[in-house]
């Protein structure tokens, strides 16, 4: 999966219509648009040595990150999915929950991160703050985390086996072959 790097900054660009995005997006334009969420490594991967990226590719990247189906999938976009279990232990179940963490808990959690994780965390937190400004507008429904969904059906005991099979969210269950 191609990683993405973008969350529109809470500037007037957030109201930008798709046809207002240049046909060829430059790094400078993407940096201004993405604000704190811009990621150099992801731009390099997407641009593949070119100076620009096509509008459709840029929009696809923006939409993928903002519509991740689970906390783990969203954290994978920011390359910090190893923090999933720690965050779930703090009752963070979706991206915008990061913004709701109390300051003391947030600082304690942040202080325990490694140097590179801190850089990715700051971008992820900025993206979470952006998503928080668009209540439920960034996805058509509020996904329940896999743990919560399994708990609601009293099926928590099967989570380890599902995870071994690559199931990160309840929607992945539909991808099992019928045999």
In sequence order, what DSSP letters do the residues of 108-144 get, joined into one string?
HHHHTS-HHHHHHHHHHHHHHHHHHTSTTTTSSS-PP
Report which of 30, 45, 148, 10 is spatially closest to residue 92, judged by C-alpha positions.
148
Is 4 within the bounds of a domain? no
- Identify the three-state secondary structure at position 24: strand
Which has the minimum average pLDDT: 2-11, 21-30, 48-57, 93-102?
2-11
Same domain, 41 and 93: no
Show which of 48, 66, 84 is a domain's final residue.
66
Same domain, 153 and 175: yes
pLDDT at 124 over 60: yes
Same domain, 160 and 134: no
Same domain, 72 and 136: yes
Is 48 within the bounds of a domain? yes
What DSSP state is assigned to residue 157? G
Same domain, 127 and 82: yes
Structural domain of residue 26, as residue ranges? 12-66
**Domain count within the chain:** 3
Cβ(173)–Cβ(162) below 8 Å: yes
Q: Where are the beta strands (DSSP E) in the chain?
A: 24-26, 52-54
- The pTM for the full model equals 0.61
More confident residue, 27 or 127: 27
Same domain, 124 and 164: no
Cα separation, 51 vs 27, in Å, equals 7
Cα separation, 173 vs 164, in Å, equals 12
Q: pLDDT by residue (tens digit) across 30-51?
A: 999 888 888 888 788 888 889 9
């Amino acid at each position: 999966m191609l990683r993405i790097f973008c969350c529109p900054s809470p500037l007037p660009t957030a109201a930008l219509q798709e046809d207002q995005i240049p046909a060829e997006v430059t790094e400078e334009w993407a940096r201004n648009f993405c604000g704190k969420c811009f990621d150099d490594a992801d731009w390099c991967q997407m641009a593949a040595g070119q100076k620009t990226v096509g509008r459709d590719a840029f929009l696809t990247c923006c939409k993928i990150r903002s519509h991740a189906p689970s906390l783990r999938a969203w954290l994978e976009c920011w390359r910090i999915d190893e923090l999933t279990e720690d965050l779930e232990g703090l009752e963070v179940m979706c991206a915008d929950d990061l913004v709701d963490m109390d300051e003391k808990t947030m600082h304690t959690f942040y202080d325990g991160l490694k140097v590179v994780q801190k850089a990715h965390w700051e971008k992820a937190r900025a993206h979470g703050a952006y998503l928080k400004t668009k209540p439920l507008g960034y996805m058509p429904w509020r996904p329940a985390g896999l743990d919560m969904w399994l708990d609601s059906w009293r099926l928590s005991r099967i989570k380890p086996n599902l995870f071994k099979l690559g199931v990160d969210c309840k929607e992945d269950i539909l991808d099992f072959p019928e045999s």
